[in-house]
A and B are shown apart, each in its own frame.
Chain A
Amino acid sequence: MDLLSPIKDHHSERRLFIARVILASTIAFILLGIVVARLVQLQVFEYEVFTAQSQGNRVRIEPVPPIRGLIFDRKGRVLAENLPAYQLELIPEQVADIDDTLQRLARLGLIEAADIPAFKELSASGPRFKPVALNFRLSEEQIANFAIQRPRFPGVDLQPRLVRHYKDGELVAHAVGYVGALSKRDLERLDASHYAGTAHTGKTGVESSFEGDLHGDVGVRHVISNALGRRIPTDSREMADSLPADETALPGMNIYLSLDLDLQRIATQALEGRRGAVVALDPWTGEILALVSAPSFDPNLFAVGMSTQQFADLQEDPDRPLFNRAIRGAYPPGSTIKPMLALAALETGATNLTRKTFCRGFFMLPNTTHRYRDWKPEGHGEMNIHDALAQSCDVYFYEISGDIGIDRMHYYLDQFGLGRPTGVDIGGEHNGLVPSREWKRNAFRDPADQRWYNGETVIASIGQGYMLATPLQLASAAGALATRGVRYEPHLVAAIEDPLSINDQRQLISPTRLDDVAIENTGNWDTVIGAMNAVMQDVRGTAWGVGGNAPYRMAGKSGTAQVFSVAQEEEYDEEEIEERLRDHALFISFAPLDNPSIAVAVIVENGSSGSRVAGPIARAIMDAYLGYGDDAS
């Protein structure tokens, strides 16, 4: 011990100590006071703010997807509905050995063994409580299989969900369309908040064009969730008391199509094994009664999801089942435009009822040697306009083509709606093409190509050359012939129904009337329609074999169009090339003659003969619709 240090004075030392304790206590009280003041600030003055934040923390807003509207045919038969399907889910935190579980599921045939590594990664990546979907749609057999084995698979379960189902999918695929998984691109065009919780959206057909009606309104559900997003059952905690009110999802509108499933079936069966299209409509309303493109596909594949291989098979199929020939297929209309050109010729004075031409099987422009051949090599003999239509004499039309002129042809065909979109209520239709001098000037770069040649007018008069029309356009034009010039916009949707409305009232879609075909001399209609009747019901008519034995009167016109797309088809074998080189078969018709209620257009690709191949299909549709079909008795 340091001897020089002062002697300890216990009294003064204690006094100093007490003073210091008082000092320290004072500081401590001040610090404690700061903490208490802070607590009062947080818990009394800012209580409301933090309560709101705490509420916002625990309450998660979950979207409730609406139930998609149903689609029916004109007789109320369901075409698109929502059926429960079961998907297989695994909850990682409830599974002791994920690898073993997946192996055993694969052995039961519930999942693909090849997918196991992907599922393992999925299970490890997300939150442990979040289910991993292993199989989106189990078959009945798989469900039964799993149900028996379930106790052996803790943490694996079946989860029901609604899947769009197309009962007669193949029959209506091109009209109804399909839904598919919502993609990023879909969300750019749709209101994303509206689609929170929705997994599918319409991709084609009515499903796509009436998406806004079918989808419905998203609802909102409030759930209690923890910091990791795990849902906490609300009944188990007092915390559930003050949850905000939920909003129910409003189901989408039900849609009634003008389509008749029976006609769809007849048309589909008639086109079995062929490529082609059938469109039938009510000429007085524009309601489409049948719209078939063959071959078709199963739209359920898109709704459920298919493998990459399945999709590739569909896309690479040379028969192009996904291609909607009825509205997108542009074909040379061939002789089916002759009734319209006959009207044009009569109206413009290019011909009259008495003008006659002698058909010797070919036609030559003055001062040229090129022979424009008739389909009948030996010629039709003497022809007037009636006979020329009824027997489809090409030479007669070659003869008068120069007198009509291409621009007047364009003027009349355009009035029938050819060469421009029909305005049908599903997307993707082709414009078709009716050439004119002006069109040619704009369509080509080379000045030599921009000139219109007389020979082009000649072949335009039998619907060849540049001219293109879709089956829907031809059906619509056939309808305008049937109504003697009254035109309606073709449409598929006849009525929309709110499933929540009390008195089950359907909101009917009123037909949109278009500009009439301007024909001044109504007698010209009689001439042309009379000749179209002769086509089918006069022994000399080209389609006597189709309509000769019918119990009702009808009108029609066949067409046979040359195929130009040879080079593109070179990859196919010889037999195939031969088949695909044949002419397209076309037919337009309407019935009954005096008070038409149905107009039909049929195209059979490479069908060779309009009257023999396409005509009977049109007849079958009209029979069925007018009550003369096999099923009618």
Chain B
Amino acid sequence: MRLSETQRLVTGKAAPLGNFGRLVRKLNVDGPLLGGLLLICGFGLVVLYSAVGEDSRLLFNQIIRLSVAITGMFIIAQMSPDFLRRWTPWGYLAGLVLLVLVLTTGEVGQGARRWLDLGIRFQPSEIMKLAVPMMAAWYLHDRAIPPKAGQLLVLAVVIIIPTILIARQPDLGTALLIAVSGIIVVVLAGLSIRLMLGLAVLSVPGAFVLWNFMQEYQKQRVLTLLDPDSDPLGAGYNIIQSKIAIGSGGLFGKGWTNGSQAHLEYLPERDTDFIFAVMGEELGLLGVLALLALYVFVIGRGLYIAVQAHDTYSRLLAGSISLTFFVYIFVNTAMVTGLVPVVGIPLPLVSFGGTSMVTLMAGFGILMSIHSHRKLLPH
């Protein structure tokens, strides 16, 4: 089957294997994927340095986090998919327990309970970002696909329980993304198109129900998106300033560290959720497209790994991880350019902050493990 130009590009077959390449193979590392990720991280650090106001201390901080995350990726790459699969239900259950713990004893920060302190402070929802698609793939592994109605119900429960727990923190953005990562598994497993369309139609009244369940600040975010100028100094401020930053960057940008929106503090959250706007302002359309191309390369490579995978679990998991990565990128860029409401989703591998990066890299570690532990086809 002919996939696309991208697929051929991401297979990396053209690249000759040097000594380094062989070492990479031995470490169960996927060269093209690692290369793409490192390029994104490098690019990200350059932009971040400007976004944090040329503060090398903060940049160093980020490099440390990045190193931890990449180390984590290498470690996970050593674990075989079978091993991961066997431990999946336990990981999922542990995640659920921790989520319940968060809701009962978690630390409050910025009006929400998201953090748990078990020696190290972390957000259990991060575990679920991987545990949910893993659990869904685990459930489908031994079963014939496409899944039947009863199985779909089980899958729905697997996905919905952590989603609700996280939404209660409240952290609607993460909850939705986790639900999406689980749904992607089900879709990739062959959920009937007709059913999907039916659900899509049903989602319209569902949206109304959801609206009623939303917190006031979440409703405000949606309203602000529809008309940012209605409240230019309040909730709409972020979107207005972000659009000004990106728009005034033009084709070539104002030059690295010369973004007036970013450096004169007009742009809020410029080193975290809105770092894409800094890039748009300083490096212009060309710089932004370069980053998007790197992302596409990494996602393409991930999907290639998924297609090449030898068992259902690996295939579904790899596909979900790659496509969820895309969803992150889409939601963040669409938010920063004013296409979707402001949800607290950082730009993966570029935004300042460590927790999500570790999870992301762990996911890529799984991809590498899947690719390097391929066995001969069982037929």
Which residues of B sit under 8 angstroms from A224, Cβ to Cβ? Answer: 260, 264
Q: Does A352 contact B (CB under 8 A)?
A: no
Q: How far is the CA of A206 from the CA of B243 in the complex (A)?
A: 54
Decide: A36 and B184 in contact? CB cutoff 8 A.
Answer: no
Interface of chain A residues 7 through 61 with chain B (CB within 8 A): 7-11, 13-14, 16-18, 20-22, 24-25, 28, 31-32, 34-36, 38-40, 42-44, 46-47, 49-51, 53-55, 57-58
- Whether the pair B334, A35 counts as a contact (CB closer than 8 A) is yes
- Chain A residue with Cβ nearest B148: A5
A24 with B280: CB separation less than 8 A = no
Stretch at the interface among B104-112, B168-176, B247-255: B247-255
Q: How far is the CA of A32 from the CA of B294 in the complex (A)?
A: 13
| Cβ-based interface call for A226 (8 A) | yes
Residue of A nearest to B260 (CB): A58
Q: Mark B228-252, 1 if CB is under 8 A from A, else 0.
A: 0000000000000101111111110
Contact: B184 with A24, CB < 8 Å?
yes
In chain B, positions 147-162 with a C-beta closer than 8 Å to chain A are: none
Tell me if B292 and A36 are in contact (CB < 8 A).
yes
- In the bound complex, do residue A227 and residue B188 qualify as a contact, i.e. CB atoms below 8 Å apart? no
User: A7's contact among B144, B288, B306, by CB below 8 Å, is which?
Assistant: B144
CA distance A57 to B243 in the complex (A): 13
A235 CB–B CB distance under 8 Å: no
A377 close to chain B: CB less than 8 A: no
* B residues 4-19 in Cβ contact with A at 8 Å: 4
CB closest residue in chain A, given B255:
A238
CB distance from B49 to the nearest CB of A (A): 17
Q: Known: A13-B145, A39-B288. Contact between A239 and B260, CB under 8 A?
A: yes
**Is residue B266 contacting chain A, with contact meaning CB distance below 8 A?**
yes
Q: Does B3 contact A (CB under 8 A)?
A: yes
Contacts of A50 in B (CB 8 A): 243-244, 246-248
Chain A residue with the shortest CB-CB distance to B300: A25
- Residue from B288, B312, B319 in contact with A13 in the complex, judged by beta carbons closer than 8 Å: B312
**Are the CB atoms of A39 and B265 closer together than 8 Å?**
no
User: Is B326 close to A, CB under 8 A?
Assistant: yes
On whether A47 and B303 interact (CB within 8 A), knowing A39-B280, A225-B264, A239-B260, the answer reads no
Q: Is the CB of B296 within 8 A of A32?
A: yes
Instruction: Mark B342-379 against chain A: 1 for CB-CB distance below 8 A, else 0.
Output: 00000000000000000000000000000000000111
Residue from the set A32, A58, A237 with the largest chain B CB neighbour count within 10 Å: A32
Q: Which residues of A contact B379 (CB under 8 A)?
A: 10-11
Pick the residue among B187, B247, B334, B338 that contacts A20 (CB under 8 A).
Answer: B187
Neighbour of B144 across the interface among A6, A31, A226, CB < 8 A? A6
Asked if B289 and A44 make an inter-chain contact with CB atoms under 8 angstroms apart, the answer reads no
| Partner pick for B188 among A21, A39, A228, CB 8 A cutoff | A21
Q: A47 contacts B319, CB within 8 Å?
A: no
Residues in A whose Cβ lies below 8 Å from that of B146: 16
Confirm or deny: B216 has a beta carbon within 8 angstroms of a beta carbon on chain A. no
Q: B188, A17: Cβ atoms under 8 Å?
A: yes
CA distance A10 to B255 in the complex (A): 52
Whether, in the assembled complex, A574 has its beta carbon less than 8 Å from a beta carbon of chain B, the answer is: no
Q: Does B299 contact A (CB under 8 A)?
A: yes
Residues of B within 8 A of A36 (CB): 289, 292
Answer whether A21 and B307 are a contact pair too, CB < 8 Å, given A57-B244, A226-B265. Answer: yes
Residues of A whose CB lies within 8 Å of any CB of B are: 1-2, 5-11, 13-14, 16-18, 20-22, 24-25, 28, 31-32, 34-36, 38-40, 42-44, 46-47, 49-51, 53-55, 57-58, 224-228, 232, 237-239
Q: Is the CB of A232 within 8 A of B264?
A: yes
Partner of B323, one of A7, A24, A228: A24
The reply to whether A18 and B1 form a contact with Cβ atoms under 8 Å apart is yes
CA distance A53 to B189 in the complex (A): 48
Contact of A43 with B246 at beta-carbon distance under 8 Å, contacts A2-B143, A227-B266 already known: yes
Nearest CB in chain A to that of B326: its residue: A28
B residues in contact with A11, CB < 8 Å: 379
Is A20's CB under 8 angstroms from B246's CB?
Answer: no
Bound state CA distance, A47 and B1, in angstroms?
43
**B285 in the interface (beta carbon within 8 A):** yes
**B88 contacts chain A at the CB level, 8 A cutoff:** no
Which of B4, B145, B334 makes the CB contact (< 8 A) with A16? B145
Cα–Cα, bound, A475→B293 (Å): 92
Verify B250–A47 contact, CB threshold 8 A.
yes
When A18-B307, A51-B250, A227-B265 are in contact, do A39 and B258 touch as well, CB less than 8 Å?
no
Nearest Cβ distance between residue B5 and chain A, in whole angstroms?
12
| Docked-complex contact A53 and B264, CB < 8 angstroms | no
Query: What 1/0 mask marks residues of chain B from 281 to 313 whose CB sits below 8 Å from any chain A CB?
Result: 100110011001000100100010011000010
Contact of A53 among B248, B315, B337 (CB under 8 A): B248
Give complex CA distance A62, B90 in Å.
65
Q: In the assembled complex, how far is the CB of residue A173 from the closest CB belonging to chain B, in whole angstroms?
A: 48
Pair A57/B285 contact, Cβ less than 8 Å: no
Q: Bound complex: CA of A42 vs CA of B276, how far in Å? A: 13
A54-B244 Cα distance, complex, nearest whole Å: 6
Contact A38 B337 (CB under 8 A): yes
Say which residue of B3, B264, B323, B377 sits within 8 Å of A57 (CB atoms): B264
A35:B337 contact, CB within 8 angstroms: yes
User: Which of B245, B249, B299, B307 meets A17, CB within 8 Å?
Assistant: B307
Besides A38-B338, A226-B265, 13 new A-B residue pairs in contact (Cβ under 8 A), listed by A number: A8-B144, A9-B144, A17-B189, A20-B190, A21-B303, A24-B187, A24-B323, A39-B280, A42-B280, A43-B280, A43-B284, A50-B243, A57-B266
| A238 in contact with B258 (CB, 8 Å) | yes
The answer to whether A24 and B188 touch (CB under 8 A), given A17-B319, A54-B261, is yes
Complex Cα–Cα for A44 and B296 (A): 22
Q: Is the CB of A24 within 8 A of B319?
A: yes
A200, B146: Cα distance in complex, Å: 83
Judge whether B258 and A47 touch: CB under 8 Å.
no
Name the residue on A nearest B261 (C-beta). A54
Is residue B181 contacting chain A, with contact meaning CB distance below 8 A? no
* A388 to B378 Cα, complex, angstroms: 145
* Pair A228/B265 contact, Cβ less than 8 Å: yes
Chain B residues within an 8 Å CB radius of A53: 244, 247-248
Q: Which residue of B lies closest to A224 (CB)?
A: B264
Q: Which of A18, A35, A55 contacts B333 (CB 8 A)?
A: A35
Chain B positions within 8 Å of A1 at CB level:
142
Q: How far is the CB of A266 from chain B (nearest CB, A)?
A: 62
Taking CB atoms, residues of chain B closer than 8 Å to A18 are: 1, 3, 307
In the assembled complex, the Cα of A8 lies from the Cα of B296 at a distance in Å of 32
B183 to A: closest C-beta gap in Å: 11
Closest to A51 in B: B248
Which 9 residue pairs across A and B have the least CB separation, nearest first?
A50-B247, A54-B248, A226-B264, A42-B247, A50-B248, A6-B144, A43-B285, A227-B265, A227-B266
Residue B43 lies at the interface, judged by CB distance under 8 Å to chain A: no
Residue contact B266 to A5, C-beta cutoff 8 Å:
no
Q: A16-B146, A35-B339, A57-B260 are in contact. Are A44 and B190 (CB under 8 A)?
A: no
